[in-house]
Structure 1
Amino acid sequence: MTDRFLLMGQNADLITRLDRLSKRAAWTFDQVTTPTGLVVELDHKRPAGIWWDLDASTLDTAIATMTLVRPQVHGPIIAFTTKITERIQRKLYQARVDDVVTFPFTDRVLRALIKQRLWLYQQVQDSTPKVLTKTASPRVITIGHWQVDYQNYRVLKNDLPVELTPKEFQLLSYLIDHRNQVLSRDQLVNGVWGYDILNTSRIVDIHISHLRDKLENDPHHPVHLLTVRGFGYKLAE
């Protein structure tokens, strides 16, 4: 099976080098150009790893985003940069980045590095014991014309299935668990993505918008997924 990576960056030279390297190693990659775009892509895809061009964003944004998505990425995160300091390296490794590669780099060495990291993650996954869990009791919540089946991760609207991404389902579930409560964007990020970090309000707004498009009869005049201006969002029954 071909390993597919996710590249965050716009550097033409880096893209060319990685494209040439990937063809030789029988890999492939998808490109995103913004940190928010990467977060959204991870809701739909499970890449073998992430390649991040540090010159394509500020360091604080890169670290915040990589910290946010690290639990979703079960493979290596490799950062590329034209300049590096001990402080930057320390902050990147604290964000659980696997490797920091500086320009210029040797294709053959980078290929060997990535292969080793893929092998290591595979060993960890193969050695993880399979835990038997008890079957959860059925739990279906009704909100207006929606039925949310927690056990089967399924949502119906007017008895018709609605396709949600895993993160959209998590966000909807969190809102339902706190229905009729006003939740700030920071609370939603912390509760759904698991990290209390800055510069993530856009991520919440995007996911709320997607939920409205899929669930509300009129996304521009929602009945349940409400905006509370100056505070955040709430789910009204």
Structure 2
Amino acid sequence: MKECIYVIEDDENIREIIELALNSAGYTVKQFSSAIPALKQMQEENVDLAIFDLMLPEMSGLDAIKEIRKTNQELPILILSAKDREIDKVNGLDSGSDDYMTKPFGVLELQARVRSLLRRHHSKNQAIMTPSLSLDKQTRVVKKNNQSIELTNKEYQLLVYLLENQDRVVERDELLNHIWGYEFIGESRVLDVHIRALRAKLNDDGNKYIKTIRGVGYRFIEGKKDYE
């Protein structure tokens, strides 16, 4: 069965371009000119991914995404907007979206972003185990020595990505782009703050779970003997 993608965009020409691009990539597309009918339809059928414009009639894209996240944390959501300021991207990602693209956009990049979001979504039912940690992607439960650990959404995403890439050092820019969905302008300490919070919850001094590779990034090291 083809994966179903909702496109919520008030510009008919842009909706048609998106549908053509995604149909050619093998997806089923359903168009909506506003968010309210899209939210209603989501309650009646399975949706694999949603693409939202931000400036919509009746209900903004941000408000619609926040409404979705009240009951559905798993649906992949891509924002496609003409708003290209850093604060707009921050607000869009903080609202609960998984990725942010600006208009005008390239068809090939749109297809690639959709593929990436769906690939990440399909991998969520997998469990990851280390000698002392277990992470269930389906339930988002993280346990250390069989004791549950409460993580924020960003802390959870960081841990998942580091666990999925245990065999290599993950660079700072890669983590920022993957977790926050865009490149930060200038120096940002947001990654360090979240890594520090995650380490505190794991009771990690940097030599047990998450090792800092100075000047490069981070690596998850538990059970690894060749990280030096």
User: TM-score, structure 2 length as denominator?
Assistant: 0.51
Note the residue ranges of structure 2 that are not aligned, 5 or more in a row. Answer: 128-135, 140-228
After superposition, the C-alpha distances for 1:195-226 in whole angstroms (9 at most, x for unaligned) are xxxxxxxxxxxxxxxxxxxxxxxxxxxxxxxx
Structure 2 residue aligned with 1:68: 67
- The secondary structure found in structure 1 opposite 2:113 is helix
SS of equivalent residue, structure 2 residue 39:
helix
Cα distance in 2 between the residues matched to 1:82 and 1:130: 34
2:101 corresponds to 1:101: yes
Gapped regions of structure 1 (runs ≥ 5): 132-237
Correspondences of 1:24-103 after superposition (within 5 Å)? 24-57=24-57, 61-70=60-69, 71-72=71-72, 74-103=74-103
> How large is the Cα RMSD of the aligned pairs?
2.2
Aligned residues: 130
Alignment of 1:1-237 (within 5 A): 1-57=1-57, 61-70=60-69, 71-72=71-72, 74-127=74-127, 128=136
- Between the aligned partners of 1:78 and 1:126, the Cα distance in structure 2 is 23
Larger radius of gyration: 1
Q: 1: distance between equivalents of 2:138 and 2:37?
A: 33
1:31 partner letter? Q
Percent sequence identity is 15
Alignment partners' CA distance in 2, 1:29 and 1:90: 27
Q: Distance in 2 between matches of 1:15 and 1:35?
A: 14
1:178 aligns to what?
none
Note the C-alpha offset of 1:73: 5.8
The residue type equivalent to 2:65 in the other structure is M
Moved over 6 A (4+): none
Inter-partner Cα distance in structure 1 for 2:50 and 2:125: 18
Change (3 A) 1:51 1:73: farther
TM-score, structure 1 normalization = 0.50
Shift of 1:29: 1.4
Tell which has more relative contact order, 1 or 2 (C-alpha 8 A, sep 6+): 1
**Secondary structure at the residue paired with 2:55?**
helix
Offset of residue 35 of structure 1: 2.1
Give the conservation status (yes or no) of the 8 Å contact 2:35–2:61: yes
Amino acid at match of 2:114: I
- The change in CA–CA distance for 1:38 and 1:129 in structure 2 (over 3 A counts) is closer
CA drift at 1:74 = 2.7
Cα displacement (A) at 1:65:
1.8
- Decide whether aligned partners of structure 1 residues 129 and 18 sit closer, same or farther in structure 2, where only a CA change above 3 A counts: closer
Would the aligned equivalents of 1:4 and 1:28 in 2 still touch at CA under 8 Å?
A: yes
Q: Which amino acid aligns with 2:124?
A: V
Q: Which amino acid counterpart does residue 96 of structure 2 have in structure 1?
A: R
